[in-house]
Amino acid sequence: MPTKLSPFLKTCMILGYAFLYVPIITLIVFSFNSSRLVTVWQGFSTKWYVSLLQDDVLLKSAWVSLQVATLAATFAVILGTLAAVALVRLGRFRGRQFFGILTTAPLVMPEVITGLALLLLFVGLEQMIGWPKGRGILTITIAHTTLCMAYVTILVRGRLAELDLSLEEAARDLGARPLKVFTAITLPLISPALVSGWLLAFVLSLDDLVLASFVAGPGSSTLPMVIFSSIRFGISPQINALATIIITAVAIGVMGAGWLLHRKKY
C-alpha cells in the first residue's frame, strides 16, 4: 500500500541511489577526459574511444566474449527451461528435491570453486577420453551455461508456477497433444521469462571473469580477462571509455526489453 515516505526514508533512498550511481557516473564522465590521469579533469576529448577501436587485443577478446555469451545464453535458456518444466510439471518424482537443489546451487557457489572444479573436470576428461581438446570457447561456454541455467531455471520456474494450469488443461481438452500444448500454449506464455532469462544469461556470461579465467585456454581470453589484466596495473581512461559503451548498451538493452515486455503484458 503506497503511503507517504518519512523524511528519514527519503534521505536513505537518495543516499542509497547516489551510492549506486555516483561511481558509474564518474566512470562515464572521466571517459571524456583528455588527461591520462583519470581523476584530474583536463578537458573534453573522445580520444580514448578512438584508441579503444584500435586495440586489437581488446576487440578480439570482445568477439570471443560475444560468441561465448550468445551460445551460453541460448543453451542456458534451453536447459533451464527444461529443468523448470521438469520441476514444476512432472509432479513428484524420485530425486526431485535433490534435482531442485542442484539446479540452483551454481547460483550461490563461490565462482572460484566452480571454476576450479570445472577446470579439473576438463583436464580429467581430456586425459581420459580426449575431449574437450584443449580449452577455449567450448569450455568457457560450458562453464557459463552451467552457471546461467541456474538463473534461468529460477526465472522460468517462477513464471510456470504462476501460470494458470487450466490453460494447459483447456488446450488438452480441445484436442492438443502434450507436445502441441507445450509449443502452442506453455511456451508462448512463458516467453517473457525466456527473454529475460536469455538477456540475464547473456549479460552474466559477458561479465564473468573468474570462471573464464579458470577454463579459458591460451588465445581465448574473454573481454573481462583482458580488462582485468589491464586494470590490475591501475586506471586507464581507455577502460572508462569501454565502460561507458557497455553501460550505454546495457541501459538501452534493459530499457528496450522492459518496454517490450511491458507492452506485451497479458
Site for other proteins in 127-156 (CB under 8 A): 127, 142-143, 145-146, 149, 153
Tell me phi and psi for residue 44, to 5 degrees. -75, 140
Q: Restricting to residues 50-69, which ones interact with other proteins according to CB under 8 A?
A: none
- H or E element, residue 68: helix 56-89
Q: 35: left (phi > 0), else alpha (psi -120 to 50), else beta?
A: beta
The one-letter code for the residue type at 177 is R
Q: Per CB under 8 A, which of residues 199..218 are in contact with other proteins?
A: 203, 206-207, 209-210, 213-214
- Contact set for other proteins, span 65-94 (CB under 8 A): 79-80, 82-83, 85-90, 93
SS3 177: coil
170-199 residues in contact with other proteins (CB under 8 A) are 170-180, 184-185, 188-189
User: Closest separation between CB of residue 23 and other proteins, Å?
Assistant: 4
- Return left, alpha or beta for 2; rule: phi > 0 is left, psi -120 to 50 is alpha, else beta: beta
7 is a site residue for other proteins (CB under 8 A): no
How many chain residues touch other proteins (CB under 8 A)? Answer: 114
Query: Quick one: DSSP state of residue 184?
Result: I
Cβ proximity to other proteins: between 73 and 239 the closer is: 239
Is the separation of the CB atoms in 197 and 155 below 8 Å?
yes
Interacting residue with other proteins among 251, 252, 256, 260 (CB under 8 A)? 251
